Amino acid sequence: MDTAKMREFVHLSEGLNFTRTAREFYVSQSTLSKHIRQVEEELGCPLISRTTHDVCLTPEGSVVHDAFRSLLEGYDSLLSQLDDMRKGIAGKLRVGFIYYGGMHYMRFGLDAFYQTHPNVQIDFLSQQPHQTIDMLKRGELDFGLLYRAKSLPESEYEFIHVHDCALHAYLSTSSDLAHKEFVTADDLQGRSFVFLSKDEEYNENIRALLALADVTPGEAAWCRQVDEFARALQSPDRVFLSTRHMPSFDDDGLCSVPIADDCFKLEVGFYVRRDNESLLASGFAEVWRNLASG
């Protein structure tokens, strides 16, 4: 059944005026009459009784009016819901991110997303990288803002680039490098680098960057996670590599110095499961893909 003809019939049956209904739907009266006859033929019964001076519904017409009205209301509601879903204007997303600098990396994309999806609620979880990875694997997050993680294989997760983060060398203020304007790969040769016992993804990224820069590290030092690295840097020969968005540790006798070599960068982006078929997730991902390509 053609919904346009259903709408014409409902309007006509409520006003019982061919002239007004034809005007409402921008058709001629002869075309409207033809449409009503086609509905009657499809249903196999007369719906409208029309005389020279009067128009009225048949008993069947009254039943059809109520049924058409109910069907159209449901159909219109369905179209509205689907439109909302296509536009991604309703619902909730859960996004985990590295708490040191995560919101800084996201702010431009979030502005663009909220312009087209103003009613979407995003639950942000600021946490350690390994916690975000675990939640992604369990399907408890829609997106995770992380540096490259080998434990999230490309076959199962899409990585959407957001930012290349230049690394700084975090040092004790008693280090011979502490007062330099910047440090180079040569300055880092043989230094004792601090690694994270609970974040092997970070460790692998740093080892890869050191190898790329032909830096041979000295004996490794360890701390559990990133917010505990200050304790490990009390020795002046130790170095911790991270982004400039780390919290300030001025009271701990620490400082950070930019690294001059361009290769010392960590790629940060959103991971999303490839089997996440949520239309909201698709809309969120598309914003970041456009920013990455633009």
The pLDDT of residue 103 is above 80: no
Q: What is the CATH number of domain 91-162+269-293?
A: 3.40.190.10
Rounded to an integer, what distance in angstroms lies between the CA atom of residue 267 and that of residue 251? 30
Average pLDDT, stretch 213-234? 88
Which residue ranges does the chain devote to CATH 3.40.190.290? 164-266
Strand 265-273 versus strand 157-172 pairing type = antiparallel
Count of Cβ atoms closer than 10 Å to residue 23 Cβ: 13
- Residues 74 and 122: beta-carbon distance below 8 Å: no
Q: What is the pLDDT of residues 56-89, one digit of tens each?
A: 999 999 999 999 999 999 998 888 777 766 665 6
Average pLDDT, stretch 32-51? 92
pLDDT reported for residue 247 = 61
pLDDT reported for residue 252 = 66
| Beta carbons within 8 Å of 91's beta carbon, 6+ residues apart | 85, 120, 121, 278, 280
Percent of the chain with pLDDT over 90: 62
The CA-CA-CA angle for residues 250, 202, 242, to 5°, reads 30
Q: Which fold has domain 164-266?
A: D-Maltodextrin-Binding Protein; domain 2 (3.40.190)
Residue 258 buriedness (CB in 10 A; 0-12 / 13-18 / 19+): middle
**The token pair that represents 242 in the structure block:** 């991270």
Q: Greater confidence, 80 or 145?
A: 145
pLDDT reported for residue 100 = 67
Q: What is the pLDDT of residues 179-190, one digit of tens each?
A: 999 999 999 999
Residue 165 buriedness (CB in 10 A; 0-12 / 13-18 / 19+): buried
Which residue ranges does the chain devote to CATH 3.40.190.10? 91-162+269-293
pLDDT reported for residue 87 = 61
pLDDT reported for residue 76 = 87
Average pLDDT, stretch 15-23? 92
Q: Which fold has domain 3-87?
A: Arc Repressor Mutant, subunit A (1.10.10)
pLDDT reported for residue 66 = 95
- Residues 230 and 256: beta-carbon distance below 8 Å: no
pLDDT reported for residue 239 = 95
Which residue ranges does the chain devote to CATH 1.10.10.10? 3-87
Average pLDDT, stretch 118-124? 87
Largest CA distance in the chain: 105
The pLDDT of residue 251 is above 60: no
Average pLDDT, stretch 266-277? 92
What mean pLDDT, rounded, does the chain reach? 89
**The token pair that represents 64 in the structure block:** 């059809």
Rounded to an integer, what distance in angstroms lies between the CA atom of residue 148 and that of residue 288? 16
| Beta carbons within 8 Å of 70's beta carbon, 6+ residues apart | none
The pLDDT of residue 249 is above 60: no
Rounded to an integer, what distance in angstroms lies between the CA atom of residue 69 and that of residue 61? 12
Confidence of residue 157 (pLDDT cuts 50, 70, 90): very high
Count of Cβ atoms closer than 10 Å to residue 268 Cβ: 22
| Beta carbons within 8 Å of 202's beta carbon, 6+ residues apart | 129, 147, 195, 196, 226
